[in-house]
Amino acid sequence: MSIVILLARDLLGADMQGVPRAVTDTTLPGWIPERVKSDWRLPMQDHQPRATFRYTLKTKPHLIFGEVLARWPNPIGATMRVGAPLTDGPRWPHQIRLSISRAFSILSTGK
């Protein structure tokens, strides 16, 4: 929750009056606000639901590489989903871990 408050402060200039000092004295790792701003720049269609991976594999197999790239988890989401802390460390291990987990889920359930 404090990350949302800190993002509001850092990106939107939100007033921190009344917010506990334990939160306001915290500094976000630099990659978090940068990633949020990067996501905000994406066209809306990039945020829309996609056809299932299995459907694309069956109907348009030539698009699979693009689908893998389009479904690559963003660093914030991947970090949160695997339960890792939002630190200055690299995010790619969490993104790979989540992608492997998703791949096993697709292969085992067919979704």
Reported as a single tens digit per residue, the pLDDT across 82-101 is: 999 999 999 999 999 999 99
pLDDT at 94: 96
Mean pLDDT to the nearest integer, 16-39 = 93
pLDDT at 106: 75
pLDDT at 54: 77
Secondary structure of the chain in HEC code, one letter for each residue: CHHHHHHHHHHHCCCCCCCCHHHHCCCCCCHHHHHHHHHHCCCHHHHCCCCCHHHHHHHCHHHHHHHHHHCCCCHHHHHHHCCCCCCCCCCHHHHHHHHHHHHHHHHHHCC
Please say if the pLDDT value at position 111 is more than 70. no
pLDDT tens digits, residue range 39-69? 888 877 666 667 777 788 789 888 888 888 8
Angle at Cα 82 formed by Cα 80 and Cα 83, nearest 5°? 60
Q: How confident is the model at residue 1 (pLDDT cuts 50, 70, 90)?
A: low
Please tell me the distance from the alpha carbon of residue 58 to that of residue 43, in angstroms, as a whole number: 27
